[in-house]
Amino acid sequence: MKLSEYPSLRSHLGRPAVLDSNLLLLHLCCEFDPPLVHSFKRLNIFDPGDAVLLSATLDLFSTLHTTPHVLTEVSNLANSLPGWRKDSWSRFFAARVVLISEEYRSSRELAADSAAMRFGLTDAALARLARTHTVLTVDWPLTGFLESRGLPVVNFNHLREFEFDS
């Protein structure tokens, strides 16, 4: 089966996508330096095949969007890079961030959704964006929450468990 035929993806094809912090970190680190998948502790739940799968998955969506909350988490997670990598990462991240459409909602607005806020501010921002975007995540509680609201979400772990034709 081709990736585009996978049932949990089919209805989302061509929509804008938004990645959770872990997946955006994977995506950006693999653009920055693919061997980081092996060596960067923040990526230890992934393997190189996941980076390829994520890239192929993103190709099925119209655009990639993000939130300031996700970008802040990615930036904070990347602070764990070795000191000798931080300068080049910072330049790369600054150049890459301007290429991703950023959707902003104030913390005050997000906090009004108390059910979403129990997952944290970043996930509340993702839940808000899920009204118009498909959320790709590795977070099971967030997936369940979005599914319970009938919002578009794809848990990347489902895709990781399946072998697709190239």
- Please check whether residue 165 lies inside any domain of the structure: no
How would you classify the pairing of strands 17-19 and 101-102?
Answer: unpaired
Average pLDDT over residues 26-30: 95
The pLDDT tens digits for 131-150 are 999 999 999 999 999 999 99
- pTM of the predicted model, to two decimals? 0.93
* In the chain, % of residues over pLDDT 70: 99
The pLDDT tens digits for 65-105 are 999 999 999 999 999 998 899 999 999 999 999 999 999 99
- Please check whether residue 23 lies inside any domain of the structure: yes
CA neighbor of 134 nearest in space, from 70, 59, 65, 32: 65
Residue 114 has pLDDT above 90, yes or no: no
Is the CB of residue 145 less than 8 Å from the CB of residue 127? yes
- The secondary structure of residue 56, as a DSSP letter, is H
* In the chain, % of residues over pLDDT 90: 78
- Please check whether residue 156 lies inside any domain of the structure: yes
Residue 7 has pLDDT above 70, yes or no: yes
Q: d(Cα 17, Cα 40) in Å, to the nearest integer? A: 25
Specify the pLDDT at position 148: 96
Average pLDDT over residues 12-35: 95
The boundaries of the domain holding residue 59 are: 3-160
Residue 64: pLDDT band with limits 50, 70, 90: very high
* Number of separate domains in the chain: 1
Is the CB of residue 112 less than 8 Å from the CB of residue 125? no
Residue 10 has pLDDT above 70, yes or no: yes
- Please check whether residue 9 lies inside any domain of the structure: yes
- Please check whether residue 166 lies inside any domain of the structure: no
CA neighbor of 143 nearest in space, from 163, 119, 162, 164: 119
How many CA atoms does the CB half-sphere of 76 hold within 13 Å?
Answer: 9
| CA 141 to chain CA mean position, Å | 15
CATH number at residue 126: 3.40.50.1010
Specify the pLDDT at position 166: 64
